[in-house]
Structure 1
Amino acid sequence: MALLLQQSITSNLGKREMSKVNNEDVSIGDIFNIVKKRLFIVVAVTAVFIGLGVVFALSKPNVYQSQVLLSPASNPSGGSAGLSGQIGGLAALAGVQLGGGAADKSLLHIERFKSRVFLTKFIAAHDLKKKLYAVQNYSWESNKLVYDPEKLAQLEQGNPDFVSLNRVFELFIEDNFKLELDSKTGLIKLAVLHQSPNVAKEITDLLVKDINQEIRQEEIIDANKSIDYLETALENTNVLETKKMFYQLIEQQHRTKMLASVKKEYAFKVIDPAIVPERKYGPNRALIVVIFALLGGVLATGGVIVFGLRAMNNQEQK
């Protein structure tokens, strides 16, 4: 029994050593010959992958990008910097900005641009859920959007696969929305991607309009609150210097309120407006086909080499 076990172990070790030697003896020329003998398989598999790539590329709808170039609007504080050293604490208590925070405020506005709060409210206000989620294609002949019935159904309440507003927001951020800040110039590039060039421009314009409108309204509300506080405080003081500073602060808040009421481009000024794009942004169909071709060629070549080496080993072992 022990002798049989020893023979079995010796036999297995011998096969492993032979396999190791065979693998080490394989040259580049052998691999080349293996591929050459089965070249038709590599070509056939690659051709199949190219066909799949063409079908996949043609199934992807054209996407268009509409872009606008923005600059953070400059809203001067009207000489309030001189007041900041005298009554900084009092101004902060009243919610008054005394200059020096323009850059921080611009960054805050940019972050709000892509915030969930603003964009979900924006999508709901303009009823964009269908246009952002359920569009299947765009018809140039009729200039109309073609919707996917299944995705349309998912937007209805009660559907087991209901797609919420938050989910539409996430997809919009991932696939349709681009916001870039140039750190050197301070300019902002806002772009919207969509199957329809007209819808891409429409959404881009609405985004700029709505963010300016929202920030304007917020500034007016804050200015009114500050004015109410300062006027109440003014009535409760008899110190002449303090009254003078209160008057200056109230004047500043009235100026802020006036600018917010008059300037439509209050937070962001349009440098280069969005246009209806004439050329598609994507997809790059040629690149898709090339990737499929490379993938098919690599897989086919690898498979041919593996099976060819196995066949060689089996022949040598026999």
Structure 2
Amino acid sequence: MSENVTQQTYYPDDEIDLRELFSTLWRGKWIIILATFIFAAAGVGFALYKPNIYQSSVLVAPAQEEGGGLGGLASQFGGLASLAGINLGGGSSNQTVIAKEVLQSRAFLTDFFNRHELAIPLMALEGWYEKSGKWDYDEDKYNPETSEWLLDSDGESYKPTDWEMVETFREDHFSVSEAKDTGMITVSVKHYSPVLAKKWAEKLVQDLNEHMRKQDVEEAEARIAYLEEKLDETNVAGMQQVFYQLIENETRTVMLANAQKEYVFKTVDPAVVAEEKAEPKRALICVIATLLGGMLGVFIVFIRAFIGSGRDASRESSGTPSLAAE
């Protein structure tokens, strides 16, 4: 006699039932659609609200060769000069690296802002009208009619400090990058106005060259004065010859520095007025907002399903069993 054996397959509790999963999503489809729609609309609104930001960049190259100037003198006359107590320094100092750090330094940027009066265009603007070329001021902080900074609820002025301007400029407007293979340096500036972005990028490079040139001239003149003083103090013919040659080279350094406009960085590709915005990426903002809305909707549906299944299990465990009829 044959016996049919019925086998029942049991699934572990932690196994995902795809049919139940899709069923749960289908039951909560309106929640997912609503969350996606709300986030998509908010993303579109946010993307349209954000003003255009333009970027201008200057490509520069080191204008001076390594090993020249004082470094070469140090290797040639360092031994003799040290006998007179003169420290010429070493030739390992990379002026390009120093110039990059100066360009991003707090002292240089603070002087740059104050010299060109950039507090208002940097801190008091919310946008720029392309057609009219007028500024959109943050009138909660600055009154363009009276050209005065307003006061907050505590009675303190909204006029920015040097620290605030430097931090804002570094975070939102300014960047410096270097190509490791070529040594070329790119100085980039972002702003609501493409005209201002171009102007600031150019001025940064120009002011840096002038700052480094002036600094080197002052140092060379100080060394000339020191060498002339030492020259008067020595009667050794050999040392006098060294001093004369050092003074001659320092004088040549001053003359070349005064004659060289692009002292540290030579402009390879000048800044131009940008015709296309760099930010915001409106399409990307809308896509991300839509995806976040859909993910949030799915999360809400699963949470609701989990809570509902927990309540059903609780009712079953606490329910009174029915009495069988006698």
Partners of 2:75 and 2:306 in 1: CA distance: 84
Aligned position for 1:310: 307
Partners of 1:221 and 1:240 in 2: CA distance: 28
Instruction: Verify: 1:254 aligned to 2:258, yes or no.
Output: no
| Structure 2: runs of 5 or more not aligned | 1-10, 317-326
Counterpart secondary structure, 1:150 = coil
Counterpart secondary structure, 1:65 = strand
> CA 1:117/1:155 → structure 2, altered by over 3 Å: closer, same or farther?
farther
- Which amino acid letter does the alignment assign opposite residue 125 of structure 2? V
| Structure 1: runs of 5 or more not aligned | 1-20
Aligned pair partner of 2:192 in 195, 207, 226: 195
Instruction: Verify: 1:146 aligned to 2:143, yes or no.
Output: no
Aligned pair partner of 1:77 in 66, 69, 84: 69
Deviation (angstroms), 1:82: 5.5
Aligned position for 1:5: none
Instruction: Verify: 1:93 aligned to 2:83, yes or no.
Output: no
1:133/1:151 contact within 8 Å kept = no
CA offsets, 1:26-73, max 9 Å, x none? 623212101111212201110110000001111111111100111122
> CA 1:243/1:84 → structure 2, altered by over 3 Å: closer, same or farther?
closer
> CA 1:61/1:184 → structure 2, altered by over 3 Å: closer, same or farther?
same
Deviation (angstroms), 1:81: 5.9
Deviation (angstroms), 1:266: 0.6
Partners of 2:275 and 2:301 in 1: CA distance: 46
Instruction: Verify: 1:234 aligned to 2:212, yes or no.
Output: no
Counterpart secondary structure, 1:93 = coil
CA offsets, 1:75-109, max 9 Å, x none? 64396365245335369836x467x235x222111
Identity within the alignment, %: 36
Partners of 1:106 and 1:261 in 2: CA distance: 19
TM-score for the superposition, normalised by structure 2: 0.83
Residues 1-318 of structure 1: pairs in structure 2 closer than 5 A: 24=14, 27-74=17-64, 76-77=68-69, 80=73, 83-87=76-80, 89=82, 93=86, 96=88, 100-101=91-92, 104-152=94-142, 155=149, 159=156, 161-316=158-313, 317-318=315-316
- Which amino acid letter does the alignment assign opposite residue 299 of structure 2? G
Deviation (angstroms), 1:161: 4.8
Question: When you count helix as a share of all residues, which structure comes out higher?
Answer: 1
CA offsets, 1:178-202, max 9 Å, x none? 0012222211111001110000000
Counterpart secondary structure, 1:149 = coil
Deviation (angstroms), 1:255: 0.9
2:119/2:160 contact within 8 Å kept = no
- Which amino acid letter does the alignment assign opposite residue 100 of structure 2? I
- Which amino acid letter does the alignment assign opposite residue 219 of structure 1? D
1:67/1:204 contact within 8 Å kept = yes
Counterpart secondary structure, 2:274 = coil
Counterpart secondary structure, 2:131 = coil
1:71/1:269 contact within 8 Å kept = yes
Partners of 1:91 and 1:213 in 2: CA distance: 33
> CA 1:115/1:203 → structure 2, altered by over 3 Å: closer, same or farther?
same
Deviation (angstroms), 1:22: 10
My pick for the range that moved more, 71-80 or 248-257, is: 71-80
1:259/1:266 contact within 8 Å kept = no
Partners of 2:13 and 2:299 in 1: CA distance: 16
- Which amino acid letter does the alignment assign opposite residue 69 of structure 1? L
Deviation (angstroms), 1:156: 5.7
> CA 1:200/1:91 → structure 2, altered by over 3 Å: closer, same or farther?
farther
> CA 1:252/1:92 → structure 2, altered by over 3 Å: closer, same or farther?
farther
Deviation (angstroms), 1:155: 4.8
Partners of 2:252 and 2:111 in 1: CA distance: 29
